[in-house]
Structure formats: structure tokens, C-alpha cells
Amino acid sequence: MAAPDAGLFVGLISGTSADGIDAALVRFDDAGVAVAPQCELLLGRTYPWQDALRTRLVELGQGGDARSLEELGTLDVQVAEAFAEATRQLLDEAGVAPAQVRAIGSHGQTVRHRPDGARHDGQHPFTWQLGDGNVIAERSGIATVADFRRRDVAAGGHGAPLLPALHATLLHSAAEDRAVLNLGGIANVTLLPATGAVRGFDTGPANCLMDAWCLRHTGRAFDADGAFAAQGRLDAELLARLLDEPWFVLPPPKSTGREQFHLDWLQARLRGGEAPADVQATLLELSAVTVADALRAQQPQTRRVLACGGGVRNARLLERIAAQWPETVLESTARYGVDPDFVEAMGFAWLARQTLAGLPGNLPSVTGARGPRVLGAVYAAA
Ligand SMILES: Nc1ncnc2c1ncn2[C@@H]1O[C@H](COP(=O)(O)OP(=O)(O)OP(=O)(O)O)[C@@H](O)[C@H]1O
Ligand SMILES: [Mg+2]
């Protein structure tokens, strides 16, 4: 198998929250992939979406329908143009010329994730990320790898999570059983036993429901540090109704998105008349309970949970997760030299490197795919 090239990669992602475009400039050493590569974040930045574009992407991601094929085609290019512009700004600030960069790995923006098919009957499963790799390569002048998830879905997997392999590379310890917890729009965990196979799966909402409820009732895009939740009281009956969702008890492999956990899902479980802050407090507890329950069920001997993603900034959320599971230590990945805001973007740089080397990017033990697969499509530099 070809050895991967050493060098510089850019990783790009806008996650389920569509809160911004995360861009990471990453340098890999030349030790090869068989040995865990050294992987250094040289610069990480989050660039804002243009407001109207973001609003539309969020609507689509929450289950809204595209108005027309024309709209979808246009959005595909608009997302790609924004990603290329993010790359330009990142490299500008880093003082790196595009020609020095080996490749971009672009996740794009998910607008629909249906690993069990549109009718949940297992027929025609799909996942769909916008952000045409042709446009990113053309605008940036850098070879681009994109469309990472769909090959795994074609091979019978969920196409998600794709980050566990990188989590293992960066954060595995032979001395203790660990888990990595990504608190994005959706929460996902990677199980890293001291010995044995890596596993990983989504556990449900982390921030997506809290964000949506907070926006509706305060006009703010997210609940900074859980302050709104702190004004309310846990509604135990509502929590029980929310936890009644059958998805939570499905065994892994499993993945989900905003098309499942959105305001209509919440609305259908409200009695009416609840105080908005009480609902926010309950949503925060829902995230904490579902994360802790899923981790405990799948890897009860976990000694340390290392958290990343935007939810790490929500001290109240971390406090409630820790309270659910006092026997484990909960820390930010920052304590292990991994910037919690850019783990995902680094992951797509890593996936691009795998693809160019002809190496698989998925872990079948995580996604449920029939086997390891080289992921994504390569769009050569001009
Ligand atoms: N200071 C803060 N207090 C509370 N929550 C915060 C704070 N900063 C960020 N967040 C939360 O983090 C979210 C963004 O996190 P992140 O970028 O990891 O998620 P994402 O883009 O949805 O990624 P993923 O693909 O992992 O779901 C915001 O939408 C917000 O809910
Ligand atoms: Mg984000």
C-alpha cells in the first residue's frame, strides 16, 4: 500500500449546528499511517456563515424541503464557495501558500442523514452533504477530497461517526479505558478500551435542541454557559416523555441528526404552558442523561471521558454529565493537547490524507459497514 505523503492538509467542516465553518491547518509527520501519525494543529479558525445562507441550511437540515432543484444546485455551490473562502483566509493568516498544501479534506454541510432510508425501512439509505468538491478545488487551487460519508453508507454503514479512528490515534491510552465525547449539535462517543476494538456511535442531542429552544425564546443562537437553563427547574415528567423516544435504546451502530431531533420533535412532547427556562433545563438534562446512560451501557468500565466540541464551553452541561456518572473523570481534550474546537476539522484533514494514500477512513466496528473502505472523491488541483 502506498505510504501517505507528509505535509500540510486543510480540514473543513460545518457541523450539525451550522454555527460556522471550522477550518484547520494540520501538519502530519511522515511516519506513515500504520504507525500513528503525529498530527499537529498549526491554525484553527471558525468562519461565520452569511446569515441568509445559514438560516436556509438550518431549515433544510431540520427536515425542511428544498424549494426546487435549482435551489439545491445553488446551495451546493454557495457552500463550496464559502469553504474555499474559509481556506483562503486560513492560509492567509497562517502565511502558507496554497501550493504548499497537499490537499483539503472537506466534510461539507449535511442537509439530510438517512442511514435507514427516507421511510426508515432500510431501503435506499443515504446521507447528503452539500459543498461541491469541484468548486472548492477550482476556487482554492488545492486538490480536494470530499463526500466522505456516502461510500460507507453504500457499504451498509451509517457513514458516521467518522472521527473515532482519529480519536484513537490522538487519545488512546494502553493504561486505562477511555471514551471521547464530542458535544456538537449531536453528541457522539468513541469508546477507547485500553485493549480491544474501537467503537463509536451517536447518543442523541447535545446542543441542537437547546440551541433551537434558546433561539425561539431568547433570540440568542445558543445558551451561553447554560445560563438560561440555570434559570429553570428540571421538569421530571417532561424528561421522562423525552427519554421515551425509542431511538435512545437502539443498540449501536447508530447515528442521527437534526432531521430527527428538532423543535417539532420537542413540541410533540410538551403539554403546553411549561416555563421556557424549565424546558431549557430539561433539555440540558436530556443531553446529559442520554450521554451518560449510553456510555455506561456500552463501556461500563470507562475511567476517563475526554470531551470536545462546542458543548465543552457549557460548564453546566459538563457538570450535569459528571453528576450522572461520578465514578469517571470528565475532562476536556485540551488537557491532552487536543484543541476541543478543532478535533472534527482535523479529522477531515486526516481523512483526506488516508484517501490520497489509498487507505480506509472508516472503522466498520463503528459504522457497521461491511468492511474498511477508502472514502471520498478526489478533485485534483488545477
Ligand atoms: N459558551 C458556550 N456556552 C454554551 N454552549 C456553547 C458555547 N459555545 C458553543 N456552544 C455550543 O456549541 C455548539 C457548536 O459546537 P460544535 O461546533 O462542536 O457543533 P457542530 O458544529 O454541530 O458539530 P457536530 O458536527 O459535532 O455536531 C453551539 O451551537 C452551541 O450550542
Ligand atoms: Mg460547529
Domain boundaries, the chain: 7-160+341-379, 164-336
Instruction: Specify the pLDDT at position 33.
Output: 52
Same fold flag, 7-160+341-379 and 164-336 = yes
Task: Give SS3 for 234.
Answer: coil
Which of 13, 17, 218 has most ligand 1 atoms within 8 Å of its beta carbon, as the pocket-test mutant? 17
Q: Label the pairing between strands 329-332 and 304-308.
A: parallel
Q: Give the tens place of pLDDT for each residue, 125-141.
A: 999 999 999 999 999 99
Query: Which residues define the annotated binding site?
Result: 15-22
Length of the chain: 382
- Please say whether the beta carbons of 33 and 95 come within 8 A: no
Euclidean distance between CA atoms 282 and 290, whole angstroms:
12
Cα angle value 351/363/164 (rounded, 5°): 65
Instruction: Specify the pLDDT at position 382.
Output: 82
Instruction: Specify the pLDDT at position 64.
Output: 84
CATH top class, domain 164-336? alpha beta
Q: Is the pTM of this model over 0.85?
A: yes
The DSSP bridge partners found for residue 282 are none
- Please say whether the beta carbons of 44 and 310 come within 8 A: no
Instruction: Specify the pLDDT at position 65.
Output: 85
The DSSP bridge partners found for residue 186 are 205
- Atom 15 of ligand 1: nearest residue by CA position: 310
Which of 113, 283, 313, 343 has most ligand 1 atoms within 8 Å of its beta carbon, as the pocket-test mutant? 313
Instruction: Specify the pLDDT at position 6.
Output: 61
CATH number of 7-160+341-379: 3.30.420.40
- Please say whether the beta carbons of 1 and 28 come within 8 A: no
Please report which ligand is nearest the Cα atom of 182.
1
Which of 13, 19, 186, 312 has most ligand 1 atoms within 8 Å of its beta carbon, as the pocket-test mutant? 19
Please report which ligand is nearest the Cα atom of 183.
1
Q: Would the CB of 162 count as within 6 Å of ligand 1?
A: no
Q: Would the CB of 161 count as within 6 Å of ligand 1?
A: no
Max CA separation in the chain (angstroms): 62
- Atom 26 of ligand 1: nearest residue by CA position: 184
Instruction: Specify the pLDDT at position 1.
Output: 37
- Please say whether the beta carbons of 229 and 281 come within 8 A: yes
Instruction: Specify the pLDDT at position 62.
Output: 86
ω before 300 within 30° of 0 (cis)?
Answer: no
Q: Would the CB of 313 count as within 6 Å of ligand 1?
A: yes
Q: Would the CB of 109 count as within 6 Å of ligand 1?
A: no
How high is the mean pLDDT in each 10-residue block of the chain (382 residues)?
64 94 92 64 98 94 87 97 98 97 97 93 96 98 98 97 94 97 97 96 97 96 96 98 97 93 96 97 98 96 97 97 95 96 97 95 96 98 88
Q: Would the CB of 16 count as within 6 Å of ligand 1?
A: yes
User: Where do runs of H (alpha helix) occur along 141-207?
Assistant: 150-154, 164-171
Q: Give the tens place of pLDDT for each residue, 83-108.
A: 999 999 999 999 999 999 999 999 99
Please report which ligand is nearest the Cα atom of 15.
1
- Please say whether the beta carbons of 118 and 124 come within 8 A: yes
Which of 17, 7, 13, 9 has its CA nearest to residue 45?
Answer: 13
